[in-house]
Structure 1
Amino acid sequence: METITIVERRGLTDDLAAGILPASVLDIERIAETGAHHPAELVNQIPGVGLHRGSGAEHLTAIRSPVLTGGAGAGSFLYLQDGIPLRAAGFANVNGLFEAPTDLATGLEVVRGPGGAQYGSNALHGLVNVQTARPGEGGYALTAEGGSFGRYRGSYQQDFSDQGLPLVVGVAGRHEDGWRDEAGLDHVTGLVRFAGTLGEDIAWLARVDGVSLNQETAGFIFGDRAYEDEAASRRNNDPEAFRDAWALRASMDVDGRINEAWSWQVTPFWRRNEMDFLMHFLPSEALEESGHESVGWRSALRYDGETQRIALGLDTDWTDGFLRETQERPTLFSFVQGPHYDYDVEARVMALYARGEQDLSDRLRLSGGLRYENTRYDYTNNLPSNTVGRFLRLPDREDEFDTLTGQIGVHYQITETSSVFGRVARGARAPQTAELYRLQPTQEIEEIEPEEIDSVDLGWRYQSVDGLSVELVGFVMQKQNVFFRDADGINVTDGQTNHIGVEFDVYLPLGEALSARWSGIWAEHTYAFDRLTGSATESITDGDAVDTAPEWLWTAGMNWQVTPAGSVSLDWSHVGEYATDAANAHEYDGHDIFSLRGRYALTESLVLFASVRNLFDTRYAERADFGFGNDRYFPGEGRGVSLGLRLEG
């Protein structure tokens, strides 16, 4: 089991290293053993996390939360690569990880609950940081794999440092025909890393990344337990749906040392992305075209003393973004043929943060931090400012939001093998641009405020000398100004929800060749307000469970090192029952999925690996929902077999 401590690359040390922030990490060995076909297979091994897999690279995320969609799904989770957000804060995407090079990742970090002071908007329920190779780690890796559903992938990555060149290059590509009809995927990612020094006191690391995504998309199937019918599950009712996207990113870490105690870091970055997406889930089936280009920097001035550590930083982000939505279908109800929206947004985010850490004794450590963030949007409407059907186009305007977030935490080392920790934190996010400027006639933009979440954590860790590891974390969270769309299609701006739960992560060695692990969460996610809608099944009552929020969510696994060269692992993923509508009148029973994986070293550098996913060919739903009077489901993939080779050295 991986050690749940992370050295933060943005600061000399932070709450992850201090053991205060609830966080987990998967290292490169665990990533290679998983051989994930989708990021969900990686992050769902972490307690408190549930990624619902969609078509191709699509997904919906839950971290200490229900599965969130729309602006809440995009804005409640921060997705980073090497500490830099993949997208600008106000232009996030609900499928946030499809732009990350997970096939080339060397580590994966997840923070559960509000992020620390060094993270800004969108680190509300949690964050995911994909780590990539740095020159100097050495070696190469070449992977090829094929399997069921026309699924093929390959990757190549090499560090040329051992040849005297501080350079890493990597490329990964995958193709799949799809489990469902006309739901294929082509996904390519690439990266370049180059490092150097300026004198004795300054080091730099430059990064360039690119991603291309072309996929056909399949939507819901309808009818009570429709996912139990394999033919219905594989049918695509939206064969014309698609998602095409690309992204380019560049950044450079520049680190310098002033003296033995003081150091600094500046990371300028640039990013650009565009996406075309057919909104097949709406009667309009409108085409959405969106994108943005950003420049900015992240910075830190750090002090590292014997008993005290301090970090101060100024972060900036300037972004030009656009969105167009056009309906080609004839007018249907209030979905009017023609352009719905066409606007540009210039965004500026500036943030100041400070965090500190004090060793009060050899066993007791105190940590705290504050972050002030100012977000400003300059919106330009390129269509007549009026109401067309259900679409409200605002005249040109400027909007500004201020958020103040922070935390204070404590860590106490009880013995050499056990410790306790706790923290109180507040997270916040400025509204997404789509939440502000894709309005409806009944909505007032002045009512939209930043979402805020208050969190209290208390945890215990134990790690024995023989390898037994246990972590238990209890949390209570309350979220205000929750923004979502109700069953009447009306945007709600003042919702409240409560969240309470316990996360657990256990690793148990059972001898020299056998080990077991179990990680997951028990939680209750409930509404804390009332709201009537035209549908009784979607009216919200204070205390009802939030829909798509199972109480139990866990993964378990057994690993058997059969021979020095070969191993076999059996994984068990459990999703508990949950309500599929706001009034809790309908529910999904949950499911249990088993997968079998094996690895065999043919030589010191060549490994053969194989897997059988959904071992018992269980019929299940990746996501269950009740909407517009119908049970509807994203069906889960049937049994799939894959075989591959990995050459490394």
Structure 2
Amino acid sequence: MAVGASSANANDSIVVTAERRDEPLQRVPQSISVVSREEIVLINADHIAEILAGTPGVNIHRGSGAEHLTAIRSPVLTGGAGAGSFLFLENGVPIRSAGFANINGLFDAHYEIAERIETVRGPSGALYGANAIHGVINVITPSPTDDLSFFGEAFGDTEDRYKWKATISDTNNRHGFLAAASVTSESGYREDAGLDQQKASLRHVFQQEDVQIDTIFSLDNLEQETAGFIFGEAALNDRELRRMNDFPQARRDAKSSRLQSTISIATSENSSLKITPYARWNDMEFVQHFFPGNALEENGHWSAGIQSAYYHDEGPLSIIVGIDAEYTEGSLREFQEEPTIFSFTQGLHYDYEVTALNASGFAQTSYAFSDNTKAIAAIRIDGTIYDYTNNMSSGVDGRFFRPSDQKNRFVTASPKFSLLHRFSDNDSVYASYARGARPPQTTDLYRLQSNQIDNPARPETIDALELGVRGAIGEKIRYDLAGFWMNKKNFFFRDADGFNVPNGETRHVGVEADINIDLHPTLSLASAFTYARHTYRFERLTGTLSETIRFGDDADTAPRIIANTRLSWRPLDRLSFNAEWVSMGSYFTDAANSRSYEGHNLLHLRTEVAVTDELSVFGVVRNATNALYAERADFAFGNDRYFPGEERVLGFGIRYR
């Protein structure tokens, strides 16, 4: 994804997610995409899914309000799989504790004011461990500026959505400061679906000779009335029915705060040390409108941890070693007020507490055989202990199974081997093998169902092969191509009847392209394309449940084709236009491959006019063709279900730099 010279393929791109330190993208033997600050400002996203729509291999389904489900070289995953398969970072630190992740975890990140967003596609467990099964998304807060600077923006649109954001920054001698805030308020595209969210970030950087201390504090508050699914294709294509909300009681309230401080020390000419202590807290409650019982879930956890990495670079040899550790206390309570419906019983379903201890060690060695060729070998060992306490009676209640008090221990290994060869400063090819591994989420182990008494969740693993090439053709064309093959075992997911499947196996094979072309000094084209097949590699033939899974069938919510193309035109220094085409291919909405969504194509238009050197006005037309489409389509409990996408929206804003 790119706009002009800010492309992720630009030769001077620097990424930090690959090794937890600055590194030129051309020297990274891995698929990484970067969304720059300029692109984030241009898109002015209502949801982070809009920002990442142009990243190859990434497919984020918007839910109601700030909610979302994620795919990175995968189907769009739900439940424990959705929470545990993707690692969401803010400035290199996980937003949630590994066993307590949230499938909607990106709404905590302060992406609205981010300096950039880096996405690693494919397993990244060697340096990051649990939850980096399919990929990593790292939202990076802006660094303090050298001189006093201010950025402010106000925006409103025809859906009664209003947004404000601002940053102020300066450096005084050895101290750099940044303060940023953003506020969103909207009445909602659908009935009883309003949203209010506030975020704040503070950053302080102290620099003295060979020591730097970088401290970041983040705060988020979300209050939203949640719209549930609409049912049936007729409702999806009816401009009145698609705005209805059959679940006016649904809501989601979430609060979180995070504090981290990275201490960087140059220990010698060739060595350095990074230590990052951190703490986090979050609390959330929401109505599970996607289940017939509409139960209220309350969950939260607090954590304290530390990351460390020691770097030594000498001659052709580079070594990284580190230890990470984290302690977490969390809880979950689920209560259904409504009368029993089917096997969803009235009353308290779960009430438990979990303490968790995670400790990990990792090492990576890189050796340059020549100026242009290097090999990398890495491994990480993760140890996890969960101590679970059940605060109510154990046993089966309807579809719900509450295990007795217990301790669970897991040890997983994540090796990686890579080879990179550079033909020139602009052209390189790489190949890699990686294994991702993670212990089950706490909800996978302790929020169980009646079919799991003798078949608990186990650690999930994925083995991945990747081949990629980056380069340029002349000075006008830049490209980043990658092919991948991945096989995942012990896949834990929820079927169309709401039952957990603990022992699935899937395969993921595809190609990705990120191409940027300077058509003219005033005109540029950026295109991201993905073709992939995500298939089940096991069978689940049963007459008791409606959903049968057959070996080789497509995984549900896994379109084979995803494409995004952006055309940017700047005819004058003070005037710019941008047109974005988003294409979502068709996909099956159930694992039995009996129901499907036909896909959609959307057109977004944007323009900005600089009134002065500091002040500009901008406008956007989202879904310019007024298409009727689904942000998410699935099939469950015998129904075709949809989250309808917004119709044509016109917005206007002012921006001060």
TM-score range, shorter chain: over 0.9
1:80-479 superposed matches below 5 A: 80-138=89-147, 139-161=149-171, 165-197=175-207, 200-444=209-453, 447-479=456-488
Q: Describe the SS at the equivalent of 1:258.
A: coil
Structure 2 CA distance, aligned partners of 1:449 and 1:160?
A: 49
Summarize the Cα distance change of 1:482–1:534 in structure 2 as closer, same or farther, 3 Å threshold.
same
Structure 1 CA distance, aligned partners of 2:600 and 2:338?
A: 38
| Conservation of the 8 A alpha-carbon contact between 2:252 and 2:286 | yes
Structure 1 position 465, deviation (Å): 4.6
Structure 2 CA distance, aligned partners of 1:538 and 1:72?
A: 18
1:619-630 superposed matches below 5 A: 619-630=628-639
1:3-18 superposed matches below 5 A: 3-4=8-9, 5-8=13-16, 11-12=20-21, 18=27
Amino acid at match of 1:152: Y
Structure 1 position 165, deviation (Å): 4.9
Q: In the alignment, what sits opposite 1:57? A: 66
Structure 1 CA distance, aligned partners of 2:577 and 2:15?
A: 31
Structure 2 CA distance, aligned partners of 1:164 and 1:317?
A: 31
Q: Describe the SS at the equivalent of 2:458.
A: coil
Q: In the alignment, what sits opposite 2:604? A: 595
Structure 1 CA distance, aligned partners of 2:59 and 2:400?
A: 33
Structure 1 position 532, deviation (Å): 2.0
Q: Describe the SS at the equivalent of 2:381.
A: strand
Amino acid at match of 2:129: G
Summarize the Cα distance change of 1:515–1:15 in structure 2 as closer, same or farther, 3 Å threshold.
closer
Q: Does 1:614 align with 2:633?
A: no
Structure 1 CA distance, aligned partners of 2:349 and 2:476?
A: 59
Structure 1 position 484, deviation (Å): 1.1
| Conservation of the 8 A alpha-carbon contact between 1:526 and 1:545 | yes
Equivalent residue pairs, number: 647
Q: Describe the SS at the equivalent of 1:407.
A: strand
Summarize the Cα distance change of 1:135–1:147 in structure 2 as closer, same or farther, 3 Å threshold.
same
Structure 2 CA distance, aligned partners of 1:13 and 1:359?
A: 18
| Conservation of the 8 A alpha-carbon contact between 1:58 and 1:98 | yes
Deviations 1:375-430 (A, max 9, x none): 11000111112222221111110001111002111111124442211111111111
Structure 1 position 449, deviation (Å): 1.0
Structure 1 CA distance, aligned partners of 2:436 and 2:79?
A: 19
Q: In the alignment, what sits opposite 1:582? A: 591
Q: Describe the SS at the equivalent of 2:448.
A: coil
Q: Describe the SS at the equivalent of 1:230.
A: coil
| Conservation of the 8 A alpha-carbon contact between 2:78 and 2:494 | no
Structure 1 CA distance, aligned partners of 2:421 and 2:562?
A: 29
Structure 1 position 536, deviation (Å): 7.8
- 2:518 pairs, out of 509, 519, 538, with 509
Structure 1 position 446, deviation (Å): 6.0
Structure 2 CA distance, aligned partners of 1:535 and 1:623?
A: 27
Deviations 1:443-477 (A, max 9, x none): 13663211111110101112245231011101000
Structure 2 CA distance, aligned partners of 1:200 and 1:583?
A: 62
Structure 2 CA distance, aligned partners of 1:437 and 1:92?
A: 14
Q: Does 1:646 align with 2:655?
A: yes
Structure 1 CA distance, aligned partners of 2:180 and 2:392?
A: 43
Structure 1 position 487, deviation (Å): 3.3
Structure 1 position 347, deviation (Å): 0.4
Moved more, 37-46 or 443-452: 443-452
Q: Describe the SS at the equivalent of 2:450.
A: coil
Query: Which runs of 5 or more structure 1 residues have no equivalent in the other structure?
Result: none
Summarize the Cα distance change of 1:447–1:340 in structure 2 as closer, same or farther, 3 Å threshold.
closer
| Conservation of the 8 A alpha-carbon contact between 1:487 and 1:535 | no
Structure 1 position 49, deviation (Å): 0.5
Q: Describe the SS at the equivalent of 1:554.
A: strand
Query: Which runs of 5 or more structure 2 residues have no equivalent in the other structure?
Result: none
Structure 2 CA distance, aligned partners of 1:38 and 1:231?
A: 23
Q: Describe the SS at the equivalent of 2:126.
A: coil
Moved more, 246-255 or 484-493: 484-493
Structure 2 CA distance, aligned partners of 1:304 and 1:606?
A: 46
Amino acid at match of 2:14: I
Q: Describe the SS at the equivalent of 2:554.
A: coil
Structure 2 CA distance, aligned partners of 1:569 and 1:15?
A: 28
Q: Percent identity?
A: 43
Moved more, 414-423 or 302-311: 414-423
| Conservation of the 8 A alpha-carbon contact between 1:536 and 1:583 | no
Moved more, 343-352 or 480-489: 480-489
- 1:73 pairs, out of 73, 82, 85, with 82
Q: Describe the SS at the equivalent of 1:74.
A: helix
| Conservation of the 8 A alpha-carbon contact between 1:549 and 1:578 | yes
TM-score by length of structure 1 reads: 0.97
Summarize the Cα distance change of 1:370–1:630 in structure 2 as closer, same or farther, 3 Å threshold.
same
Q: Describe the SS at the equivalent of 1:118.
A: helix
Q: Describe the SS at the equivalent of 1:477.
A: strand
1:542-581 superposed matches below 5 A: 542-581=551-590
